[in-house]
Amino acid sequence: MEKTKVLILGGTGYLGQHLLQAFAVTNGGSQYDVAFAHHSSPPPRLLLDSFPRFPAFPVDLKSGQGLDSISHNFGQPHVVVNCSALSVPRVCEQDPDAAMSINVPSSLVNWLLTFDKDKTLLIHLSTDQVYEGVKSFYKEEDETVPVNVYGKSKVAAEKLIKDKYPNFAILRSSIIFGPQTVSPVPKTLPIQWIDSVLQKGDKVEFFHDEFRCPIYVKDLVAIMLKLTDMWLSDGGPMQLVLNAGGPDRLSRVQMAEAIAEVRGHDSSLIKPVSATSVDRGVVSPADISMDVTKLIQTLQISPTSFREGVRLTLQSESLR
């Protein structure tokens, strides 16, 4: 039986590593041939040692350099998951050209079009920042009116994929949280950071008027595995756009309060402030909470509550 070939772009990143871990565990890895692409060269030794059967390819998504090597050494993938992005809104604002050239995957789509395009599904990670942020619980069919360069680059990416590639699932992800990765990522992880500052007994300011639907990383991985299974069993064209958020609409204050409650920290350390009182060097949408009904109905999944996700995250950190 032919193995399912899966290519993960951005395999050294936070979500990419959690995906690699899931594919390594699933069926003992015997059902899948998995490869990953990375831009940071070379990938950390710890990561390579953790997934010795998964070949790693250096790829520059701006130019497409390195994709031919995947064609020759790995062949046509059945599923490509694109987790690569310049995803810090402030950085995107400072360098719009870099944001557009990295986040709009022209070279990737052009490469996929060199294969039999009916045989490869592209799962592309988008963002809740495609929405304007002026109401609660956005639906997938709502107009995308991004207020910053990061959101604009992601809208442009969605348009490119819809216009040029026939088989895709676009996931508009909210804040992703969960345990640290096998090879620790340099970026600050939200739950771990809030937990550490509250543990120190420091008073910390959190926004009370910006709302998101944070998603537990293992739910996002489960969504991608489910999409892979659907694609392999149905065989027909897939053109899906899904809000990939958790079930709770939360401000940063409410997130911090949930962590304080789970850990027994003093909640009086949490000082609510308005998001408008801080200049972050980028416009941030106020309320981009999402309606995830379509996600739940299409994939028959039940996303983890924020509180439970926090409990699982902190539990796994204590076992590290």
Model confidence pLDDT, tens digit, residues 258-271: 999 999 999 999 99
Q: pTM to 2 decimals?
A: 0.97
Domain annotation covers residue 149: yes
Domain annotation covers residue 165: yes
Domain annotation covers residue 309: no
Range of the domain at 224: 4-180+214-246
Interatomic CA distance for residues 213 and 109, integer angstroms: 29
Domain annotation covers residue 318: no
Model confidence pLDDT, tens digit, residues 197-252: 999 998 999 999 999 999 999 999 999 999 999 999 987 899 999 999 999 999 99
Domain annotation covers residue 284: no
Interatomic CA distance for residues 204 and 168, integer angstroms: 41
Model confidence pLDDT, tens digit, residues 27-74: 555 789 999 999 867 899 999 999 999 999 999 999 999 999 999 999
Residue 130 is given by DSSP the state G
- Domain harbouring 147, CATH code: 3.40.50.720
pLDDT at position 187 is 86
**Residue 2's pLDDT band (boundaries 50, 70, 90)?**
confident
CA distances from 224 to 7, 40, 81, 242, 275 (A): 12, 23, 8, 11, 32
Give the total number of structural domains in the chain: 1
Domain annotation covers residue 258: no
Domain annotation covers residue 289: no
Domain annotation covers residue 193: no
pLDDT at position 318 is 75
